[in-house]
Amino acid sequence: MITFYILIFAISILYFSISVNIRSYINLLGVQGILLFLIALSGLKDFHIFQLIFVAVETLVFKGIIVPRFLLNVAKKNRVTNIKNFKLRRKMKGFYLILTTVLVYLITLLLGYTLKNDFLNVKYFSTGITAIIMGLLFIIINKNITVHIISFIVIENGVFLMALAIGNEMPMLVNTAVLLDLFVSVLVLGVFFNKLTYQFHDDSSDKLSSLKD
């Protein structure tokens, strides 16, 4: 079952590559949040009950519901529907990104199996690394601040998955990853992103160019 969840998670990264609709991006984040909860629930058997509640709140409530709802509201407020300002030509973008996602996933899988490690779950690891790399790539090729935020959350989801890959032996790292998500998301989304979209009335990073030498 875990393999199935991870596969859907990997497909969601692929879907990010071809989507141009902001609502699809945000819905995918919600799906990833729920998937992370299911993966954590079925993958880690000796979870302490307190830790389980912690992870459930973090993934299911926070990533699955609160963050997507918040982003939808911001997108609605700014009337952002489609992502137009890619740095690549739109038709080619989807193709290149799918190709890159598949290549990154294959390379990380190969790497994971080559560097055989009994304590590392290769499926988690490869999917996590792919999410991190693709999240970074989405930030680089997009000028839209909302997409930057979404991509950052994809990176965080990848890190969370990686933490789960080794979390059986080091639960402290899983907890730390959860805390990272909570604090940074609250700060980035709740405080500054909200103020930024209110002040600049636009969500293109081109508007943020006042600071110069």
Partner 1 sequence: MIYSYLIISLVCIFIILLLNNKKLTHAVVYLFGFFQIYFCYELYTHPERCQNEYFSVDSIGVLFTIILAVLSLVAAVHYQKYETLHKEDIRSVKIHNAVYIGFNAALVGVYLSGHYGLLWAFIEATTLTGATLIYHDRKKIVLEAVWKYVFACSVSITLAFTGILLLSVAAQEIKLSELSFELLAQNAQIMNPVWLKAAFIFILVGFSVKMGVSPMFNVDIDAKDVSPFPIGALFSSVLLNAGFLAIYRFYSIFKDTEMGVWMNHVLVIASVLTLLFASAHLLKAKNYKRLFAYSSMEHSGLVLIAITLGKLGILAAFLHLTFHAVVKSGLFFQIGQVIRLNQGKKEAITGYFYQNPLGGFILLFGSLAIMALPPSGLFISELLIFKSLLLQQNGLIIVLIFSLLSIIFYALLTSVFKLLFYPSTTEKVIVKPKTYWLENLLQLFLLGLSVYFGLFQSQFLIDLIQASL
Tell me the torsion sign for CA atoms 47, 49, 54, 55.
positive
| Residue among 30, 159, 178, 203 that touches partner 1 (CB under 8 A) | 159
Q: Which of the ranges 8-16, 22-30, 36-44, 187-195 carries the binding residues for partner 1, by CB under 8 A? A: 187-195
Structure tokens at 24: 């699809």
In angstroms, what is the minimal distance from the CB of 14 to partner 1?
A: 21
Binding to partner 1 (CB under 8 A) within 114-143 occurs at 115, 117-120, 125, 129, 132, 136, 139
> CB–CB of 155/37 below 8 Å?
no
Element (H, E) at 22: helix 22-43
Residue among 25 and 152 whose Cβ is closer to partner 1: 152
Helix pair 22-43, 49-56: axis angle to 10 deg? 170
Closer to partner 1 by Cβ: residue 39 or 162: 162
Please provide residue 144's backbone torsions phi and psi, each rounded to the nearest 5 degrees: -85, 125
Q: How many CA atoms lie within 13 A of 103 on its CB side?
A: 8
If the CB atoms of residues 98 and 182 are measured against partner 1, the closer one turns out to be 182
Q: Is 170 among the residues that bind partner 1 (CB under 8 A)? A: yes
Contact 181, 40 (CB under 8 A): no
- Among residues 94, 112, 105, 99, which one has the least CA distance to residue 131? 105
Q: Does 195 bind partner 1 (CB under 8 A)?
A: yes
169 contributes a contact to partner 1 by CB under 8 A: yes
Binding positions for partner 1, rule: CB under 8 A: 115, 117-120, 125, 129, 132, 136, 139, 148, 152, 155-156, 159, 162-163, 165-166, 169-170, 172-173, 176-177, 179-180, 183-184, 187-188, 192-193, 195-196, 199-200, 208, 210-211, 213
